[in-house]
Amino acid sequence: MESDKTLEEQQAYLNKLVQDRGYVLDYHKILVKHDFEAMVSINRLLETVYLKDRLLDRSTKELLSIFGLILGRAARGQIQSHMQVAVEQGITAGQLLELVELVLPMAGFATFQIGFTAWCDFFKVDGIEPTVDRYEGGRPA
């Protein structure tokens, strides 16, 4: 779909979107180029319910967004982009881990693992290794 906006106007809009949110997703980049009007409409809604401080502050909205994205089984990168903004808002790794753990009783282990893997990769954490014979992923280790 052709946009009536110049490349410079599209670029300026995308740059402002990134500055306002603190991250960019593929759909932002693609819609700005191929369906500018749709991106503006989507962004207008998100500016009101997500970016604008109303009764909930940005930190609370980030925590809720991360929780919802994990429950919705979103892509790891999308979850991590919100983790980055949450950290910038002062949320700690421990607080985010507790949030991820809250997914377990609400949505089960498979959904929890989506958030847990995103958290582990984002914070580049590891665990300790057992020193006894074991099975990992169904194979002897």
d(Cα 61, Cα 26) in Å, to the nearest integer? 21
Sign of the Cα pseudo-torsion (53, 56, 59, 64, in order):
negative
Please indicate, yes or no, if residue 131 is contained in any of the structural domains: no
Please indicate, yes or no, if residue 89 is contained in any of the structural domains: yes
CATH of the domain at 85: 1.20.1290.10
Q: Does 63 share its domain with 37?
A: no
pLDDT single digits (tens) 103-127: 999 999 999 999 999 999 999 999 9
Q: How many domains does the chain have?
A: 2
Q: Does 45 share its domain with 90?
A: no
Does residue 141 surpass a pLDDT of 60?
no
Does residue 82 surpass a pLDDT of 90?
yes
Yes or no: say if 110 and 132 are a contact pair by the CB < 8 Å rule: no
pLDDT single digits (tens) 22-80: 888 899 999 999 999 999 999 999 999 988 889 999 999 999 999 999 999 999 999 99
Please indicate, yes or no, if residue 130 is contained in any of the structural domains: no
**Residues spanned by the domain of 92:** 56-125
